[in-house]
């Protein structure tokens, strides 16, 4: 799928992958991308390998190419794109592990022989009433013991490992790879959410769990609300714009609306590509995320408005797009992005 040092995925291969995922989208929305075969489709196409370094069995695609892939998948099946983004975040942290651990884990992940996911939202969540971190790491011999919860873990019951983060006694953060079959680990039933319930997002509880891999924080790093979240928002916005364009085919009055949203989409996409290629400061990254969030919400509402009453019926694409667009208002939003969104909703922006 990925050419060496390319700035975008191979177009025919990406089109074929997108079509295959779209064909599975209805089943994926019910069963999740692991059971529907969507994740296996990503593996066989070479998409997963793009996130893994060449030295560990992957193809090591460039960041702009990976974001273009996420955007295209999100336009066809946001559930699959969410699962892939969480897999990719976990892989990014594993790439900071010791050499032996990288060699043990990454080749299998690159080829879809095993699946992983990430649970780190607890690092920004405190048990204020107890004065304790949500997930604590306590020294235990030559390893660690994990106690607490990861409140949001996508596909926990479909993966062999979870990459998580916990707070050590000195207040520092450490990352760990934990088998989902580990003693003391309990995966609660998936949450029934407003949208994307097939992502099988669950709360995971730890009671004296011993991880198999420890990763130093400096090696891994954590970026809440990174560029992948904006890529998925742009993909979801494109799906709404495409639906609106379909309505405009027989209603010319909608053409300026499609043109305006498309131009905004292209401008944000260009900024995303530059950020991926050249790097981006946190404030500019947050502004990009805020603009992508605003676009996806407005584009989905425009698609619903154009679809009229039919779009308000459960099961219509516009109804689904509106629900899915709201996900971006709560998913991995830095405080600056959330505050900007609230100000805009209140007319204070």
Burial 183-197 (b: 16+ CB within 10 A, else e): eebebeebeeeebbe
Rounded Cα–Cα distance for residues 14 and 67 (Å): 13
Domains along the sequence of the chain with CATH: 11-115 (1.10.540.10), 117-220 (2.40.110.10), 227-345 (1.20.140.10)
Residue 262's nearest CA partner among 288, 298, 231, 286 is 298
Note the pTM of the prediction, 2 decimals.
0.95
Provide DSSP, 220-285.
Answer: H---TT-HHHHHHHHHHHHHHHHHHHHHHTT-GGGHHHHHHHHHHHHHHHHHHHHHHHH---HHHH
Q: What is the pLDDT of residues 70-88, one digit of tens each?
A: 999 999 999 999 999 999 9
Q: What is the pLDDT of residues 253-263, one digit of tens each?
A: 999 999 999 99
Neighbours of 313 (CB within 10 A): 10
| Band of residue 223 on the pLDDT scale cut at 50, 70, 90 | very low
Residue 220: per-residue pLDDT: 44
Rounded Cα–Cα distance for residues 341 and 336 (Å): 9
Residue 235: per-residue pLDDT: 98
Within the chain, how many helices (H) and strands (E) appear?
A: 11, 10
**Of all residues in the chain, what percent carry a pLDDT higher than 90?**
85
Residue 130 pLDDT greater than 80, yes or no: no
Residue 184: per-residue pLDDT: 98
Residue 4: per-residue pLDDT: 60
Rounded Cα–Cα distance for residues 241 and 159 (Å): 33
Q: What letter does residue 201 receive in the DSSP assignment?
A: E
| Band of residue 183 on the pLDDT scale cut at 50, 70, 90 | very high
Q: What is the pLDDT of residues 94-126, one digit of tens each?
A: 999 999 999 999 999 999 999 999 999 998 765
Residues 39, 33: contact at Cβ < 8 Å?
yes
Q: State both tokens at 155.
A: 């596909």
Listed in sequence order, the residues at least 6 apart from 73 whose beta carbon sits closer than 8 Å to its beta carbon are 17, 18, 21, 47, 80, 81, 84, 235
Q: What is the pLDDT of residues 299-308, one digit of tens each?
A: 999 999 999 9
Residue 345: per-residue pLDDT: 87
Q: State both tokens at 205.
A: 């509880």
Q: What is the pLDDT of residues 11-67, one digit of tens each?
A: 899 999 999 999 999 999 999 999 999 999 999 999 999 999 999 999 999 999 999
Start-to-end CA span in the chain (Å) = 42
């Amino acid at each position: 799928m990925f050419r060496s040092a390319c700035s975008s995925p191979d177009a025919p291969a990406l089109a074929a992958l997108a079509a295959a995922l779209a064909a599975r989208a209805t089943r994926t929305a019910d069963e999740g991308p692991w059971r529907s075969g969507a994740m296996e489709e990503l593996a066989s196409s070479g998409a997963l390998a793009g996130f893994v370094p060449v030295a560990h069995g992957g193809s090591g695609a460039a960041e702009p190419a990976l974001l273009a892939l996420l955007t295209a998948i999100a336009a066809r099946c946001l559930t699959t794109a969410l699962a892939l983004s969480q897999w990719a975040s976990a892989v990014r942290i594993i790439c900071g592990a010791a050499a032996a651990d990288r060699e043990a884990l990454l080749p299998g992940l690159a080829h879809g022989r095993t699946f992983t996911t990430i649970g780190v939202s607890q690092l920004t969540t405190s048990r204020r009433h107890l004065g304790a971190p949500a997930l604590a790491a306590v020294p235990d011999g030559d390893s660690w013991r994990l106690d607490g919860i990861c409140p949001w873990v996508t596909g926990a019951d479909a993966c062999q490992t979870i990459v998580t983060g916990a707070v050590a006694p000195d207040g520092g953060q450490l990352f760990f790879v934990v088998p989902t079959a580990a003693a003391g680990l309990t995966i609660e039933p998936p949450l029934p959410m407003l949208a994307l319930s097939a992502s099988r997002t669950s709360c995971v509880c730890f009671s004296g769990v011993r991880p198999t891999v420890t990763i130093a924080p400096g090696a891994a790093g954590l970026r809440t609300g990174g560029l992948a979240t904006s890529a998925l928002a742009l993909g979801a916005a494109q799906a709404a714009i495409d639906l609106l364009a379909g309505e405009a085919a027989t209603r010319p009055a909608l053409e300026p609306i499609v043109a305006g949203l498309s131009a905004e989409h292209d401008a944000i996409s260009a900024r995303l590509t530059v950020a991926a290629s050249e790097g981006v400061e946190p404030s500019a990254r947050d502004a990009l995320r805020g603009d992508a969030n605003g676009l996806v919400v407005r584009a989905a509402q425009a698609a619903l408005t154009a679809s009229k009453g039919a779009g308000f019926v459960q099961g219509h694409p516009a109804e689904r797009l509106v629900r899915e667009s709201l996900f971006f208002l709560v998913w991995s939003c830095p405080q600056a992005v959330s505050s900007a969104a609230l100000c805009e909703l209140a007319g204070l922006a």
